[in-house]
Amino acid sequence: MHFNVLVAHLASLLTVASAKDSRTFAVNHFYGQGPLTEGRMDPIISPGTASSHVHAIQGGSNFNLTMDNDALLDSHCTSSLVEADKSNYWTPSLYFQDPVNGSFISVPMFYMNVYYFFEPTDDGIEPFPVGLRMVSGNNSVRTPPPGGAANVLDTNAGTIQPVQWTCPRSSYDTPSYPATSDGLHGVGIQDPNNKGAGAGFPYMNCDGYASPLRADIHFPSCYNPKAGLDAFETNMVFPSSKGTTGGKANCPEGWTHLPHIFYEVYWNTPLFAEMWEQGQGSQPFILSNGDRTGYSLHGDFIAGWDVDVLQKIINNCDAGDSGMDKCADAGTINNSANSCNIANLIPEKISGVLEKLPGNNPPTGWGQGEATSSGPSQTASAQTTTSVAPTTKSETDSESTTTSTAPAVETGIGSWSYLGCYSDNTSTRALTGVQFADLGIGKVTSTGCMDYCGSAGFSLAGTEYAGQCFCGNKMEGGSKIAADKCDMKCEGDASQVCGGSSALSVYEKAVKAESKRASAHFRRHMYGKHT
């Protein structure tokens, strides 16, 4: 036996896989500027060539069009906080199709989490073998899951349904999905167990705090070593609860039980909230593969773990939402102030305003013919815009005639987004970091307040009563109120809104994902629904 192989064997004997009576989990957090990279790259489905559609990719820097099984281990950096994880995780990117002129506008990725669930089983759970490739979801589907929107992750419970969209809303008075939807006419169908989730795209803006539209993808956890690392079409199945007790689910005889991973990919959809009519039977988001329905959501994974570190995490860590980087055995943690990024290896314009989706994928699904590509064609006009701002709702808008909308704000990671109109009062302020920031008499604007608060190191900025600016890192009291309560023009720029009477226009800086995740408010959105 080769010495290295012998050492690996000894190491795996030292850290033995253990069966589980109850679930433990740890969320793998990423850091840095945006994902590792974005582009038409997919070494699993389209090795060596441009893939059909754009993906957002996280993880180890040795991601490439063609990859040897152990290529990732030599990555010089990883966008995972846990340095021992150089795996790659990817999903299709999201675009907004302008309902007025048909242009496509890239939606910035907000951030991504990968849950590592170690679930009850009689099997020993083992780490991902280096080089394992797997895919979950189906790129070709344009119709709702036959068994309904609810996830099915147990082969004993019916046909597997591994993907959903989650649309957290500040109020479900108008649900994210219409109750009568059949999923075939412009909007998806709601998960009967979860108001905020469904199959296919919702038709409302997802305005939950720090939680825009989210792609959710569960992966199977049973690996067939006989099929092999590369056989992504056949090498994995979901476990089965058949014949087990205590909520356990086991893998078939001879298969290896691996962690159950679950991707959450948040897209900054609220940036576009003012550019489409919500709840009107159609919605404007489209996957990079041209899918208008969202049913074809899928995820890909190549394992690049230090297997000893992952085995210890499986056996000993239950850090939950606080993050895998908090596990005692996680090893070196990257500095979240840095960033690990690589270039798009298929150089072409993929962000900003586009007349066609990269790879020229026509819109499909929900009645859009394969052949028709909506929108004006061949306008070779200025395509240099890389930042997109929501337009201010016009006075003729049917819903309201007040200037109730957010002013235009910069988009993208590292910029600000509008959270909404929040109550405030003079006795207990909602934002207490800096009160009545001095921007100069008559000079207060919402953009100026964001600049001020950002420079002072705060992640939230709020303007009130036309001329007041407050900063903070969290809301202390104050709840979201009707958008039209923030109806005052800013003293420093009448084209912007600066809150109202006892009403704050609140903006949040798209901080590094790590600190956003840390907020208690955010944690509340987490795993509860998946149990």
Task: Calculate helix-pair angle for 307-316, 3-14, nearest 10 degrees.
Answer: 10
Query: Quick one: tokens of 149?
Result: 């929107």
Length in residues, the chain: 531
Based on the shown chain and the rule CB under 6 A, indicate whether residue 236 belongs to the binding site for ligand NAG: no
What's the closest the beta carbon of residue 438 comes to ligand NAG, in angstroms?
Answer: 22
Residue of 24, 256, 334, 404 interacting with ligand NAG (CB under 6 A): 334
Interface with ligand NAG (CB under 6 A), residue from 43, 92, 220, 478: 478
Say how many C-beta atoms besides its own lie within 10 A of residue 131's C-beta.
18
For residue 282, state whether it binds ligand NAG (rule: CB under 6 A).
no
Rule CB under 6 A: which of 358-417 touch ligand NAG?
A: 376, 379
Residue 424 binds ligand NAG, judged by CB under 6 A: yes
Specify the stretch interacting with ligand NAG by CB under 6 A; choose among 302-310, 312-320, 328-336, 523-531: 328-336
Q: Whose Cβ is closer to ligand NAG: residue 322's or residue 423's?
A: 423
Which of the ranges 137-145, 220-228, 313-321, 402-410 carries the binding residues for ligand NAG, by CB under 6 A? 137-145
Site for ligand NAG (CB under 6 A): which residue of 18, 138, 156, 194? 138
CA nearest neighbour of 419 among 328, 511, 339: 511
Write out the two tokens for 364: 């499909």
- Contacts with 6 (C-beta within 8 Å, 6 or more apart), sequence order: none
Closest distance of CB 495 from ligand NAG, Å? 16
Interface residue with ligand NAG, options 72, 251, 353, 481 (CB under 6 A): 353
**Smallest distance, ligand NAG to C-beta of residue 391, A:** 6
Total residues contacting ligand NAG (rule CB under 6 A)? 27
Spell out the SS3 assignment of 113-175.
EEEEEECCECCCECCCCCCCEEEEECCCCCCCCCCCCCCECCCCCCCCECEEEECCCCCCCCC
Look up residue 436 and give its two tokens: 């009545």
DSSP three-state, residue 473: coil
* Binding track over 82-121 against ligand NAG, x by CB under 6 A: -x--------------x--x-x------------------
Contacts of 320 (CB under 8 A, 6+ apart): 25, 26, 27, 527
With respect to ligand NAG, which residue has the nearer C-beta, 118 or 295?
295
Look at residue 204 and give its three-state secondary structure.
Answer: coil
Under rule CB under 6 A, residue 26 binds ligand NAG: no
List the one residue out of 377, 151, 408 whose CA is nearest residue 260. 151
Query: How far apart are the C-alpha atoms of 444 and 451, rounded to whole Å?
Result: 11
Place of tokens 């690392």: 229
Identify which range of 196-204, 337-345, 460-468, 489-497 contacts ligand NAG by CB under 6 A: 337-345
Q: Return d(Cα 531, Cα 528) in angstroms, integer.
A: 6
Stretch near ligand NAG under the rule CB under 6 A, chosen from 84-92, 182-190, 196-204, 332-340: 332-340
Report the DSSP beta bridge partners of residue 57: 37, 90
Q: 244 or 432, CB closer to ligand NAG? A: 432
Q: Which of 194, 423 has the CB closer to ligand NAG?
A: 423
Of residues 442 and 477, the one with the C-beta less far from ligand NAG: 477
Q: How many CB atoms lie within 10 A of CB 415?
A: 17
Q: Which is nearer to ligand NAG, 12 or 387 (CB)?
A: 387
Which residues of 321-392 form beta strands (DSSP E)? 353-354
The least CB distance from residue 502 to ligand NAG, in Å, is 8
Which phi-psi region, left, alpha or beta, contains residue 219 (left: φ > 0; alpha: ψ -120 to 50)?
beta
| Residue 425 sits in the site that holds ligand NAG (CB under 6 A) | yes
441 CB-near residues (< 8 Å, 6+ apart)? none
Residue nearest to ligand NAG (CB): 477
Among the candidate windows 152-160, 202-210, 333-341, 466-474, which touches ligand NAG by CB under 6 A?
333-341
| Nearest by Cα to 112 from 49, 184, 55 | 55
Which residues between 46 and 75 bind ligand NAG (CB under 6 A)? 62, 64
Residues in Cβ contact with 252 at an 8 Å cutoff, skipping those fewer than 6 apart: 222, 224, 237, 240
Q: Does 12 bind ligand NAG (CB under 6 A)?
A: no
217 binds ligand NAG (CB under 6 A): no
Q: Does position 22 bind ligand NAG by CB under 6 A?
A: no
Nearer to ligand NAG, 75 or 404 (CB): 75
Calculate Rg over the CA atoms of the chain.
Answer: 24
* Smallest separation, CB 31 to ligand NAG (Å): 8
Closest to ligand NAG by CB, 376 vs 442, is 376
Cα–Cα distance, 479 to 469 (Å, whole number): 18
Q: How far apart are CA 178 and CA 202, in angstroms?
A: 9
Which pair of structure tokens corresponds to residue 487? 């109806």
Chain positions contacting ligand NAG, by CB under 6 A: 62, 64, 77, 83, 98, 101, 103, 138, 140-141, 332, 334-335, 338, 340, 342, 353, 376, 379, 423-425, 427-428, 430, 477-478
